[in-house]
Structure 1
Amino acid sequence: MHDLPALRRRGFLTAVGTTAALGVLGLAGCADSTDDPSDGSGSDSGTPRRGGRLRAAFAGGGASETLDPHLASLFADAARAKALYDKLADYGADLSAQPRLAEKWEANKALDRWQVTLRRATFHNGKAVTAEDVLYSYRRIADPDQAFRAKASLEPIDLDASRATGTHGIEFVLKRPTAEFPNILAAFGAYIVPADATDFDSEPVGSGPFRFVSFTPGRSALFRRYDDYWEGAPHLDEIEFVVANEESARVNALLGGQVEYAHELNPTTARAHEGKGQIEIVRLRNSAMQGFAMKTDRAPFDDKRVREAFFLIADRQELVDGALSGAGVVGNDLFGKGYEYYAADLPQRAQDLDRAKALLKQAGAENLKVTLDTSAVAAGFTEAAGIFRDQAAKAGVTIDVKMGSKDSYWSDILDSGTICCYRSGAMPIEAHISQRLLTDSTTNATKWHHKDFDALYQQAQSTKDKTERTAVYERMQRRLYTEGGFLVWGFADWILGTARNVKGVEAKAPANSLDWARFDKVWLA
């Protein structure tokens, strides 16, 4: 989902740099839930059990829903796609690419040709997954007449020149050196379908852990265990996805026993039920970046002293406590806390109103007045705007909070205004840079246009040694920390709820990573 601007309310995934913003998920649960035998089953709940149907409630997309994995845009779509299909790779807890259908990959010295070897896996119809299926899938995604989510991610691949080197081998020819090529294999929506597949709703065939049984758009989807899944058959007999668009409906269904899993709960709900014994609350840490995007190409934020002043105006803990109800951690004006390549050694920035005032005075911006765009499009946006307005007033800055439409907010704020509320789900730091911070990036909300910065990105992509590449990414992040346009004040938890008899879930990975929605690893105790 590299074309969404952020994790959105009502289930939108976090994109890795398209028109909005998405990332990688992981099904989670309480850390001690797998060894708590007090669920009345009389068995050791740490030992997986086979059988049963788990019902999972998600916000849905109405009658227009589809099981086409290349069109997935909602969390419900992504969870269903993960159950039915596989990708060549997926993102681990630190957002590094982990092998899935691709057993291994290897680059040439120039990093512009990659040899990928497929593992032995089969589709639900018993046919082997082959190189031709991969090439068909990628060429379908790249169709210029279609709007598939992973299209932008696959752009570096020359699919006309790429070829099968055997039943289970593919040589990918790239348009330029790409050290982070495995991230492309893990791209959101880059699922592998059988060659020539066109019907995805009446009887879709994938290679995932569950096989299709039935689907009613906007209502439910039922899948059954695939016994020949390459990673081992799921413990569950069946997984049923049910649509409940309102958070209250999902919570009530969970409390009433109509479902065993409820996706996307708010912090207030979590606090009300956490530790009370009726349901389990699961927190996926570092799942959504929260911040403000300052337009660096226009006044007043074309002056880096003003941007630094705003960095110093922010009381990050107050924003986390107030806008996220404490369900998150403070940020440090960089994307990807805890992810691969994150510059964790930079000092944590704290509020310094005296320094902020001095910088504004130097910039001739005393008594500054700015309009902050926000919307109810995402949880915490309006609250964050109000809190930051009050913080800025202490530095002599007047902020006028402007409420935007939920329907057009993401498209509106990409080009208009000077500062806006911004949010993004998990994605690799490399993808965040390439899709949002290069001169030609399509979702460059901060209008960060610097040719020397572009050159550093190309240097990183042309550097085979990971230690040397890490050093380049650190240089880029130091530059952004000093004078970038993203004021990243926090990272929000993504909150799930499960019945107490749901076991085998993890809470170690951000939303949108490999271990999110891993219903093949879950069982009912």
Structure 2
Amino acid sequence: MNHSSLGSRLPGLARRGFIIGTGATALALAAGCGTGGSAPGAKDDGAAGGTPKRGGRLRAAFAGGGANETLDPHSASLFVDAARAKALFDKLADFGADLSPLPRLAARWEPNAALDSWRITLRKAAFHDGRPVTAEDVLYSYRRIADPKQAFRAQAALEPIDLGASRAVNASTVEFKLKRPYAEFPNTLAAFGAYIVPKDADTFDRPVGSGPFSFVSFKPGSSLLVKRNAAYWDGAPHLDELEFVVASEESARVGALLGGQVEYAHELNPATARAHEGQGKITVVRLRNSAMQGFVMKTDRPPFDDKRVRQAFFLIADRKELVDGSLSGAGEIGNDLFGKGSQYYAAGLPQRTQDLKRARALLREAGAEGLKVTLDTAPVATGFIEAAGIFKEQAAKAGVTVDVKVGNKDTYWKDILTSGTFASYRSGPMPIESHVSQRLLTGSPTNATHWRHKDFDELYQQIQSTRDDKQRAALYDRMQRRLHNEGGFLIWGFADWIVATAPKVRGVAKEAPANTLDWARFDKIWLA
């Protein structure tokens, strides 16, 4: 079979995704595969399906990026980009199911006493051409990402590193000098797009990485074919070949799966999943906590510069109604805090519920009875328009008039950073530390709530200067209690991300949120 034939039969482009890393870029990451090397607690279909079996070609359908697609892992932005990069390359670390960093090419890491210098010891690993992965490759890769002439996504994550002062101690040891203490520096090693490439790599038409699969052929906007890397440091894949094919529309991906043209279909909507689940033709996998859903209130502008108004809006929301109505029930309720299920999440705080009487009282105290606000939204993510309509009805019961304004989907994320006062919001998983540093500090690049408090900034710096995990957890709890009480994020839910496979596919992780190690672990999948 011509490896590009399926891609040509399912042409097109789809840039649907959700926000990760910063609140300004529609991005790509979710679905999960893995048994060996999986994050703690991960389960898979193969647990009851017998011993992994070697052989065969898996065909995976994703929405694509058109004729300008590249295999440069530092340029990845869509789901398909990230999945292909993961097949061909490795990072120093990746995120476990709780968004804590797990070693990958880095065998271990160790900070100095001041937490402003970290030594990374590399494991023995080789690129596809047989050359060992060395400290020089790591420094080259990070300096390439940080090049200000480029616009690579991981630049922001690498900002704390003083790359000029960092050095290769020897072939297997990198010493990273930091600009300030950073107790959670390993989060940077796991950052989206922070892949390690050979030190002479500048073109990627025939990429050489250290990942579980090696390059065979590529047709941008159509398909990529890769083959088993028998020498992979984390164990050779079970599959002989893996083919990524482009199918722009969800209906095309599902049709190809039902018709036997592919064995894996990425990104199903909840209605499609419900229609096919339990029918025996396909297996539906729901990746929990894969997208935070909510609204942002600008805390420096009326009416939300009064924390009593923000507190009233927290109490207006009926979270279950929002999850059921806008996500077709494919998710779980939130508690106005980011990172449910993640390391350091303040799970002990009481679950907030709708209380219209108290909401009305708070609005009266704030002199905001009869309040009218504009809610900015756009069709940029599943459920945005629906959630806005549902919240409008909920707010009316508290005497608040909400005018839903549907904006330009192409500029929406940029627009809501500076414009308006109240807007729909979504984010993929990331460590709570990353959410805070990117969105909640005075100088954060994507501070959509305009939360700017010197004492809060100082608390973040205290956390990053604290070596002890338990002490950091206590400080994070303090931070989240404040955000829960008076922050600008009204987080009403966490959406599932849904993929589907042919019944013969085994080894798909069920408890791996988007953006984690076991997402896109095609090296741990097999065909029964």
TM-score under structure 1 length normalisation? 0.95
User: Aligned equivalents of 1:200 and 1:69: distance in 2?
Assistant: 9
SS in 2 for 1:508: coil
CA contact (8 A) 1:317 1:330 kept: yes
Letter in 1 for 2:46: T
RMSD (Å), alpha carbons: 1.4
Once the two structures are superposed, residues 146-199 of structure 1 have per-residue CA deviations (whole angstroms, 9 ceiling, x without a partner) of 000100000000000000011100110000000000000000000000002011
SS in 1 for 2:192: coil
1:300 aligns with 2:303: yes
SS in 1 for 2:419: coil
Unaligned runs of 5+ in 1: 1-8, 37-44
CA contact (8 A) 1:448 1:484 kept: yes
In the alignment, what sits opposite 1:42?
Answer: none
1:245-284 equivalences under 5 Å are: 245-284=248-287
Q: CA deviation at 1:10?
A: 3.9
After superposition, the Cα gap between the structure-2 partners of 1:422 and 1:438, relative to the gap in structure 1 and judged at 3 Å, is: same
User: Aligned equivalents of 2:84 and 2:152: distance in 1?
Assistant: 16
After superposition, the Cα gap between the structure-2 partners of 1:66 and 1:32, relative to the gap in structure 1 and judged at 3 Å, is: closer
SS in 1 for 2:163: coil
1:501 aligns with 2:504: yes
User: Aligned equivalents of 1:486 and 1:448: distance in 2?
Assistant: 10
1:136 aligns with 2:140: yes
After superposition, the Cα gap between the structure-2 partners of 1:381 and 1:247, relative to the gap in structure 1 and judged at 3 Å, is: same
Letter in 2 for 1:279: I
In the alignment, what sits opposite 2:32?
Answer: 27
In the alignment, what sits opposite 1:110?
Answer: 114
SS in 2 for 1:286: strand
After superposition, the Cα gap between the structure-2 partners of 1:277 and 1:439, relative to the gap in structure 1 and judged at 3 Å, is: same
CA contact (8 A) 2:117 2:177 kept: yes
Q: CA deviation at 1:142?
A: 0.2
Q: CA deviation at 1:277?
A: 0.7
CA contact (8 A) 2:101 2:190 kept: yes
User: Aligned equivalents of 1:13 and 1:241: distance in 2?
Assistant: 20
1:460-471 equivalences under 5 Å are: 460-471=463-474
Letter in 2 for 1:47: T
Once the two structures are superposed, residues 34-67 of structure 1 have per-residue CA deviations (whole angstroms, 9 ceiling, x without a partner) of 256xxxxxxxx42111110000000111011100
1:161 aligns with 2:161: no
User: Aligned equivalents of 1:127 and 1:281: distance in 2?
Assistant: 40
User: Aligned equivalents of 2:26 and 2:224: distance in 1?
Assistant: 26
SS in 2 for 1:480: helix
In the alignment, what sits opposite 1:474?
Answer: 477
After superposition, the Cα gap between the structure-2 partners of 1:64 and 1:21, relative to the gap in structure 1 and judged at 3 Å, is: closer
1:1-150 equivalences under 5 Å are: 10-12=15-17, 14-17=19-22, 19-20=24-25, 25-28=30-33, 33-34=45-46, 45-150=49-154
Once the two structures are superposed, residues 296-327 of structure 1 have per-residue CA deviations (whole angstroms, 9 ceiling, x without a partner) of 01000000000000000000000000000000
SS in 2 for 1:213: strand
CA contact (8 A) 2:326 2:384 kept: yes
User: Aligned equivalents of 2:442 and 2:23: distance in 1?
Assistant: 14
In the alignment, what sits opposite 1:41?
Answer: none
The share of aligned pairs that are identical, in percent, is 73
User: Aligned equivalents of 1:365 and 1:405: distance in 2?
Assistant: 30
CA contact (8 A) 1:23 1:427 kept: no
TM-score under structure 2 length normalisation? 0.94
In the alignment, what sits opposite 1:309?
Answer: 312
Letter in 1 for 2:32: L
Q: CA deviation at 1:26?
A: 4.9
SS in 2 for 1:173: strand
User: Aligned equivalents of 1:69 and 1:249: distance in 2?
Assistant: 26
In the alignment, what sits opposite 2:11?
Answer: none
CA contact (8 A) 1:58 1:243 kept: yes
How many residues align structurally?
Answer: 508
Match among 206, 211, 227 for residue 208 of structure 1: 211
In the alignment, what sits opposite 2:453?
Answer: 450
1:241 aligns with 2:253: no
1:279-290 equivalences under 5 Å are: 279-290=282-293
1:403 aligns with 2:371: no
CA contact (8 A) 2:44 2:507 kept: no
Letter in 2 for 1:469: R
Moved over 4 A (4+): 21-26, 28-32
User: Aligned equivalents of 2:33 and 2:491: distance in 1?
Assistant: 25
Once the two structures are superposed, residues 199-246 of structure 1 have per-residue CA deviations (whole angstroms, 9 ceiling, x without a partner) of 112x10000000000111110000000010000110000100000111
Letter in 1 for 2:22: G
1:195 aligns with 2:199: yes
After superposition, the Cα gap between the structure-2 partners of 1:24 and 1:12, relative to the gap in structure 1 and judged at 3 Å, is: closer
Match among 328, 347, 350 for residue 350 of structure 2: 347
CA contact (8 A) 1:12 1:73 kept: no
User: Aligned equivalents of 2:101 and 2:80: distance in 1?
Assistant: 22
Letter in 2 for 1:148: F
Q: CA deviation at 1:19?
A: 3.0
Q: CA deviation at 1:13?
A: 5.2
Q: CA deviation at 1:32?
A: 7.1
User: Aligned equivalents of 1:378 and 1:305: distance in 2?
Assistant: 29
User: Aligned equivalents of 1:60 and 1:478: distance in 2?
Assistant: 41
Once the two structures are superposed, residues 492-513 of structure 1 have per-residue CA deviations (whole angstroms, 9 ceiling, x without a partner) of 0000000000001111111111
User: Aligned equivalents of 1:20 and 1:331: distance in 2?
Assistant: 23
SS in 2 for 1:161: strand
In the alignment, what sits opposite 2:4?
Answer: none
SS in 2 for 1:252: helix
